[in-house]
Amino acid sequence: MYFTKHLIDTALQEDIGSGDITTENLVDENIAGSGVIVAKEPLVIAGLDIARAVFRRLDSDIEFTSGYGDGDSIKTGDTVLAMRGRLRPLLMGERTALNFLQHLSGIATTVRNYVKQIQHRDVRLVDTRKTTPCWRVLEKYAVRVGGACNHRMGLYDGVLIKDNHIAACGGIAKAIRTVRGKISHLVKIEVEVVDISGAEEAVAAGADVIMLDNMDTDQTRQAVKVINGRAIVEVSGGVTRNNLTALADTGVDVISVGALTHSAGSVDLSMRISQEY
């Protein structure tokens, strides 16, 4: 995919610049060896193909072996990825590969913990557009690896009428009516509401999906009753591990959580290099 290739090239250029003055002055370009990436904590791995692509961008002859695939649970001390080839590209690509792998695995690990908490409930966990600029495709991929689903990818693939749209347009019903007349009949319309009256207006106007924004558990339960199956109900805003289960038990269909991407920390992985081939 173009975005991924471009991101890898940009990341390598950012790190290597005009050249790795340490590696190029210490390591002969023809010396071969091996490397292993090791987990230093329990995690869900994501981004193995990206890590391989980083090294292959520097040397297409590097060989890889791994007993794991994206989505697997990894224990402390496990070798996630092993590689053989010239030592220069292994050393030069180490940090960039680890940055991708640690960040994406951090998201997948965070998501897996959320998913486990509500795994026996009939509700879908999704992400948001609160992603790192230029990393969205990869971060949303990591969300899927962790076991959750994606909300819209961008402004181009789904209608979501938010509070500022409503303010600019002059009301919920008018906004729904206006956009309905301009888009394909195949596209669903989602509307963000902040109170019960907004939910009533949205469902009466024919919204396909109603997002309950920053409503507490009692308000959410009441809104679900008002909507009464006439639209998909999504809850968003202020969702944490502390209230996730309670919100899932209100009868909503979808829970969107920005923290799956914007607050997920990187996991701890390290790479060890050896002259043994």
For the chain, what percent of residues have pLDDT higher than 90? 97
Structure tokens at 52: 């391989």
Compute φ and ψ for 154, nearest 5 degrees.
Answer: -160, -165
- 120-262 adopts what CATH topology? TIM Barrel (3.20.20)
Q: Which of 190, 201, 213, 234 is an active site residue?
A: 213
Greatest CA separation for the chain = 72
Predicted pLDDT at 277: 76
The question of whether 75 is a catalytic residue gets the answer no
Catalytic annotation present for 95: yes
- How confident is the model at residue 266, as a pLDDT? 98
Q: What is the pLDDT of residue 103?
A: 98
Distance separating alpha carbons of residues 55 and 8, to the nearest angstrom: 10
pLDDT digits (tens, 9 = 90+) for 104-154: 999 999 999 999 999 999 999 999 999 999 999 999 999 999 999 999 999
Q: Give me 259's structure tokens.
A: 């923290």
- One of 130, 144, 180, 221 is an active-site residue; which one? 130
Token pair in block for residue 69: 């695939």
Examine the pLDDT at 209 and tell me if it is beyond 70.
Answer: yes
The C-alpha atoms of residue 234 and residue 216 are separated, in whole angstroms, by: 13
pLDDT class for 2, splitting at 50, 70, 90? low
- Report the chain's mean pLDDT, rounded to a whole number: 96
Neighbour-count burial of 19, counting CB atoms closer than 10 A to its CB (0-12 exposed, 13-18 middle, 19+ buried): exposed
Decide if pLDDT at 183 tops 90. yes
pTM: 0.95
Residues 205-216 have a mean pLDDT of 97
| Those residues with Cβ within 8 angstroms of residue 41's Cβ, 6 or more apart along the chain or in another chain | 76, 267, 268
Same fold, 2-114+265-274 and 120-262: no
Model pLDDT for residues 219-264, shown as the tens digit of each residue: 999 999 999 999 999 999 999 999 999 999 999 999 999 999 999 9
What architecture is the 2-114+265-274 domain classified under in CATH? Alpha-Beta Complex (3.90)
41 is an active site residue: no
Q: Which of 152, 162, 180, 230 is catalytic?
A: 162
User: What is the dihedral sign for C-alpha 171, 177, 183, 187?
Assistant: positive
Q: DSSP label at 147?
A: T
Angstrom distance (rounded) from CA 269 to CA 66? 15
Given a cut of 80, is residue 88 above it in pLDDT? yes
In this model, does residue 19 exceed pLDDT 90?
yes
Query: Do residues 95 and 55 make contact, with C-beta atoms less than 8 angstroms apart?
Result: no
Residue 11: is its pLDDT beyond 90? Answer: yes
Q: Please give the average per-residue pLDDT across 64-93, as a whole number.
A: 98
User: What are the residues whose beta carbons fall under 8 Å from the beta carbon of 150, sequence distance 6 or more?
Assistant: 126, 127, 140, 143, 144
Q: Residue 129 catalytic?
A: no
Cite the beta strand spans of 145-239 per DSSP E: 159-161, 189-193, 209-213, 232-236
Q: Which residues are within 8 A (CB) of 153 and not within 5 positions of it... i.e. 6 or more apart?
A: 136, 137, 140
Assess whether 130 carries a catalytic annotation: yes
Contact call for residues 114 and 244 (beta carbons, < 8 A): yes
Predicted pLDDT at 276? 83
pLDDT in the model for residue 171:
95
14, pLDDT greater than 70: yes
Chain position carrying tokens 């956009």: 179
* pLDDT over 90 (residue 8): yes
Per-residue pLDDT at 1:
62
| Other beta carbons less than 10 A from residue 27's beta carbon | 19
Residue spans per domain, the chain: 2-114+265-274, 120-262
